[in-house]
Amino acid sequence: MTDTAQRTLARGGMTPDVAHSAPSDVLTPADRYQELFVAVQTQRIFPDSKTFVDCVPSLAPEEVLRRYRESAQVPGFDLSRFVATYFTLERTPPSHYVSAPGQALVPHIDGLWDVLTREPEAHPSCSSLLPLPRAYVVPGGRFHELYYWDSYFTMLGLASSGRHDLLVSMADNFSFLIDTYGHIPNGNRTYYLSRSQPPMYGLMVELFESHGVDRALRYLPHLRREYEYWMDGEASLAPGDARRHVVRMPDGACLNRYWDERDTPREEGYLEDVNTALHAPHRPAGEVYRDLRAGAASGWDFSSRWLDDVNDLSSIRTTAIVPVDLNSFLYASERQLACLAQAAGDSQAAHAFAARALARRDAMTRYLWSDEVGAFLDYDWQRGQRRTCLSAAAATPLFVGLASPAQAQRTADTLRDHLIAAGGLRTTQASSLQQWDPPNGWAPLQWIAIHGLRKYGEQALAGDIAHRWLSTVSALYVRESKLVEKYSLHTSDAMCASGGGGGEYPLQDGFGWTNGVVRRLLGDHPEHDAHQATAQGRTPGN
């Protein structure tokens, strides 16, 4: 983090842009509450580790810690009572995620945007929430904050719903985060500042311009600054070395990996991470923690993509892997930077960014493309070999226009043969206890595949995935009157769809990116039976 960002954080994230919002604590919950934090998390005062880090102190945080240290020495001290006295749960607005009987999907989703919108004026003081200048849309459920890559898919739906007011607000918020912290954090929480998420800002900028929010050129300085964050340390790397997000390949090419600045347990998953590291006594705990954090930065937390053993989360090696999707998104950023620099009259920068995009595409073809599998695969840079796990991330080079026509056709065939289920596109081929593995399907991965396949003329397969996904979502909506975070893709019948499972927390309702992708797909497919689906009504097609 830059010196400017550190100074801003020392003021609770306050700048003139956010004077209407309450300051956050200047430290993360673990740094602030120290042994109190460890006691609360390890003694499971709350069943979900995220609950405490989102709590609001009733006094100044320094005073709460002082009173804890004084009280904890008294015989009969009751930690649960202390926490109940000095912390309040973050106020959660009424959900209204469940639709009224008879309501169709489009009005249900359009009505949810206000339910999922949060106002900075409502931020509590001295919590872990980072101030933002404008209103923002949260995913829903346990997630009360803005998330980076989720928001791109949410924005697709906001645009389809005509909510340009919220598109403008989100554009301002992400630009503010880059200006203030030098990057877009995983979410607007102090405990998320040590990492980012898949770099979707360039794609957001395209969306802003195409829907009249503002000219893309306005965001060029922010896009450059975010790119510098992802490429920091590149110049000093020798072949075979890595620093932060950058990996220098043996032939001198630079590709990227996910990374987190900290090597401690995730604060929102503290006890889970401690227990995971205990299952890997042969590895330094800090190494496991950093790989877990980097897995969270990927957005795929967690998946067999990052594991040596699909049945053992402690075998996670995220920082050793050069991912297909991350490098595809950065290719898109480089192309966007080249285009905007040219529009700004800076031909030298335009040529430099275009050359970077070309170099990345060539390096991905050398290291990540598998002619045997017919798809781009993640690459293990420490072991010098491609990973064997085929995943839906293979569609991302199509989504950003990186793949050659021949690669796109091969990828389409591979996805059709290996990842299509009755209910949509599977995440990977390896069933595990992790939520980013079968049988789960996720809205963002459906959209990336559908949009990417369309770009290369694979209309039939794109339409097939869209049909399967809309059938899955609408079938569950008819039965349960809501949309959820992820779906279980049954292999026999999409009409038997259910919410997904696995992972560290229960299935969440809401849900931002599902709403966004489904709303966009409903607009793209006005003929689909999902338009006739109604809450507690009839199943489409029956």
- The catalytic residue among 301, 325, 378, 437 is 301
Name the phi and psi angles at 379, rounded to 5: -120, 130
Give the helix/strand (H/E) hosting 369.
strand 369-370
DSSP-derived secondary structure letter, 219: G
Q: How many residues are recorded in the chain?
A: 542
Q: How many CB atoms lie within 10 A of CB 222?
A: 20
Could you confirm whether 485 is annotated as catalytic?
yes
Tell me which residue has tokens 């072949």: 239
Measure the CA angle with vertex 60, ends 58 and 62; round to 5°: 125
Could you confirm whether 261 is annotated as catalytic?
no
The number of angstroms, rounded, from the C-alpha of 15 to the middle of its chain's C-alpha atoms is 26
- The catalytic residue among 172, 378, 437, 485 is 485
Contact 427, 442 (CB under 8 A): yes
Give the helix/strand (H/E) hosting 248.
strand 246-248
Give the SS3 label for residue 385: strand
The DSSP result for 256-325, as a single string, is E----S--S--GGGHHHHHHHHHT-TTS-HHHHHHHHHHHHHTS--S-GGGBSSTT-GGGB-GGGEE-HH
Considering only CA atoms, which of 405, 410, 520, 392 is closest in space to residue 455? 405
Here the contacts of 247-253 (C-beta below 8 Å, separation 24 or greater) are 247/322, 247/381, 249/363, 249/367, 249/381, 250/384, 251/363, 251/366, 253/359, 253/360, 253/362, 253/363, 253/366, 253/367
Active site residues: 301, 485
